């Protein structure tokens, strides 16, 4: 006999049966991080190469346009290019480098037939005797060869060697606040005896052929005889030349007039004008007008020589330790430096 189906067996389950969720497919690793990394590397590489190219171009431009000792013209006042007034600046303590710079600029000016007059802009307390005299001589030679007028324009300080170079010019114009004069000579050197013997324990030994061979000696204080010797051999000849140069450059002054003024005193512009050491007081425009007047021209383009930057200028200066004592250092310290230089400890009259 067959079995009848049970009600409980034929009824569907109270909740539907769900099939299990299929397993998720494995996810591949993203390559976006590597793409960003390599993108950054590539960008940095490109930027580095661009910077290198720009650096090389800049270096080439500097080398091509900035050779050492080359001066370029910069226009200060507009005017006809066929008629020019050139400005040469002498600034700072006068040394051999300054003298060479002035020489180069005067050489350039002498080759330019469009230049009708020169202005020597002076802002210097002076410097070495030989360098000051060299600049003076260069200006006089330019004037004698070209027959073109030269005007000195004094700014700030134009004393001692600065004044020495100015008297080479036909006329001198000074700003109202200029300090000038200081006609005279100064000399100094170092005595290293205590430094060497007491501090460093070094005893110098000097073998010489005559008693004056090492005068002045950096290894002992000078005696009165040695000081008089230096006065006669170095200071006096340089002083006498200074007096002679001023008397020749300032026809309105006699030798006696110059000697009266040449005691090392400094003078303000008005006093210098009263003493006939200068010809006028004014600013740059007055100096330009004076140059035009002497050249017999009404209009001119005013240009200034400017030294161009160069690789040689960038790397030419070598650092020197002030603590390093060499034979050359001892020689420089012990050798008297005869200067046409205004010493700032002098008080004005």
Model confidence band, residue 317 (pLDDT cutoffs 50, 70, 90): very low
Query: What sign does the CA torsion over 31, 32, 37, 40 have?
Result: positive
Question: How many residues appear in the chain?
Answer: 349
Quick check: 132 and 161 in contact, CB under 8 A? Answer: yes
Which of 124, 160, 166, 217 is an active site residue? 160
Among 160-164, 239-243, 314-318, the minimum mean pLDDT is found in: 314-318
Nearest to 121 by CA among 139, 134, 107: 139
Q: Could you tell me the residue ranges of all domains in the chain?
A: 66-309+325-341
Which of 35, 107, 208, 213 is an active site residue? 213
Whether residue 100 is predicted with pLDDT greater than 60 in this model: the reply is yes
**pLDDT tens digit sequence for 169-190:** 999 999 999 999 999 999 987 7
> What pLDDT is stored for residue 216 in this prediction?
81
> What pLDDT is stored for residue 327 in this prediction?
62
β-pairing, 186-188 vs 337-341, is antiparallel
Quick check: 85 and 117 in contact, CB under 8 A? Answer: yes
Whether residue 136 is predicted with pLDDT greater than 50 in this model: the reply is yes
Torsion of CA 68, 72, 76, 81, to 10 degrees: 160
Rounded-to-integer distance, Cα 68 and Cα 155, Å: 27
336-to-12, 218, 234, 277, 345 alpha-carbon distances in Å: 126, 9, 9, 29, 19
120-to-36, 151, 167, 339 alpha-carbon distances in Å: 64, 6, 11, 21
The DSSP result for 76-144, as a single string, is: EE---TTSEEEEEEEESSB-HHHHHHHHHHHHHHHH-TTEEEEEEEEEE-EEEHHHHHHHHHHHHHHHH
Model confidence band, residue 20 (pLDDT cutoffs 50, 70, 90): low
Whether residue 27 is predicted with pLDDT greater than 80 in this model: the reply is no
272-to-149, 173, 330 alpha-carbon distances in Å: 22, 11, 40
Rounded-to-integer distance, Cα 166 and Cα 139, Å: 9
Among 9-23, 175-189, 275-289, the minimum mean pLDDT is found in: 9-23
Nearest to 188 by CA among 158, 228, 216: 216
Express as a percent the part of the chain with pLDDT over 70: 76
Among 34-48, 134-148, 168-182, the minimum mean pLDDT is found in: 34-48
Q: Quickly count: other Cβ atoms within 10 Å of residue 268's Cβ.
A: 18
Would you tell me which CATH number, out of the four given (3.40.50.300, 3.30.1330.40, 3.90.226.10, 3.30.1330.120), belongs to the domain 66-309+325-341?
3.90.226.10
Residue 160: active-site member? yes
Residue 196, classified by CB atoms within 10 Å of its CB into exposed (0-12), middle (13-18) or buried (19+), is middle
> What pLDDT is stored for residue 40 in this prediction?
75
**pLDDT tens digit sequence for 252-276:** 999 999 999 999 999 999 999 999 9
Mean pLDDT for the stretch of residues 291-306: 96
The DSSP result for 52-94, as a single string, is: HHHHHHHHHHHHHH--TT-EEEEEEE---TTSEEEEEEEESSB
Q: Which residue has the higher pLDDT, 36 or 137?
A: 137
DSSP state at residue 166: H
Q: Which residue has the higher pLDDT, 308 or 262?
A: 262
Rounded-to-integer distance, Cα 294 and Cα 84, Å: 13
DSSP state at residue 3: P
Model confidence band, residue 33 (pLDDT cutoffs 50, 70, 90): low
Residue 320: active-site member? no
Query: Per the confidence metrics, is the pTM higher than 0.85?
Result: no
Whether residue 215 is predicted with pLDDT greater than 70 in this model: the reply is yes
Model confidence band, residue 71 (pLDDT cutoffs 50, 70, 90): confident
Whether residue 24 is predicted with pLDDT greater than 90 in this model: the reply is no
Model confidence band, residue 343 (pLDDT cutoffs 50, 70, 90): confident
> What pLDDT is stored for residue 264 in this prediction?
95
Rounded-to-integer distance, Cα 171 and Cα 77, Å: 21
The DSSP result for 288-320, as a single string, is: HHHHHHHHT-S--EEEEEEEPP-HHHHHHPPP-
Rounded-to-integer distance, Cα 293 and Cα 147, Å: 14
Quick check: 341 and 125 in contact, CB under 8 A? Answer: yes
Mean pLDDT of all residues belonging to the chain = 83
Mean pLDDT for the stretch of residues 141-159: 97
Q: Quickly count: other Cβ atoms within 10 Å of residue 163's Cβ.
A: 35
Q: Quickly count: other Cβ atoms within 10 Å of residue 25's Cβ.
A: 6
């Amino acid at each position: 006999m067959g079995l009848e189906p049970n009600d409980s067996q034929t009824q569907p389950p109270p909740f539907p049966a769900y099939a299990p969720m299929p397993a998720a497919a494995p996810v591949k690793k993203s390559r976006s991080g590597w793409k960003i990394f390599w993108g950054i590397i590539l960008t940095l590489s490109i930027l580095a190469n661009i910077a290198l190219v720009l650096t090389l171009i800049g270096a080439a431009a500097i080398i091509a346009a900035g050779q050492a000792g080359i001066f370029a013209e910069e226009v200060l006042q507009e005017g006809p290019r066929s008629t020019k007034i050139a400005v040469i600046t002498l600034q700072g303590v006068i040394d051999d480098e300054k003298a060479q710079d002035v020489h180069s600029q005067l050489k350039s000016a002498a080759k330019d037939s469009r230049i009708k007059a020169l202005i020597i802009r002076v802002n210097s307390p002076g410097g070495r005797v030989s360098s000051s005299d060299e600049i003076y001589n260069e200006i006089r030679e330019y004037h004698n060869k070209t027959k073109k007028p030269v005007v000195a324009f004094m700014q700030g300080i134009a004393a001692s060697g600065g004044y020495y170079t100015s008297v080479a010019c036909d006329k001198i114009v000074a700003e109202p606040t200029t300090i000038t004069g200081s006609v005279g000579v100064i000399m100094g050197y170092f005595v290293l005896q205590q430094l060497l013997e007491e501090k460093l324990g070094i005893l110098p030994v000097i073998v010489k052929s005559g008693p004056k061979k090492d005068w002045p000696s950096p290894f002992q204080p000078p005696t009165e005889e040695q000081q008089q010797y230096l006065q006669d051999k170095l200071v006096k000849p340089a002083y006498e030349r200074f007096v002679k140069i001023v008397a020749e450059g300032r026809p309105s002054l006699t030798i006696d007039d110059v000697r009266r003024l040449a005691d090392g005193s400094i003078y303000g512009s008005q006093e210098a004008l009263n003493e006939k050491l200068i010809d006028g007081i004014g600013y740059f425009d007055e100096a330009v007008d004076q140059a035009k007047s002497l050249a017999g021209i009404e209009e001119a383009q005013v240009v200034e020589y400017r030294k161009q930057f160069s690789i040689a200028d960038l790397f030419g200066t070598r650092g020197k330790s002030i603590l390093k004592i060499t034979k050359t250092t001892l020689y420089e310290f012990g050798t008297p430096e005869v200067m046409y230089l205004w010493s700032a400890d002098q008080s004005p009259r």
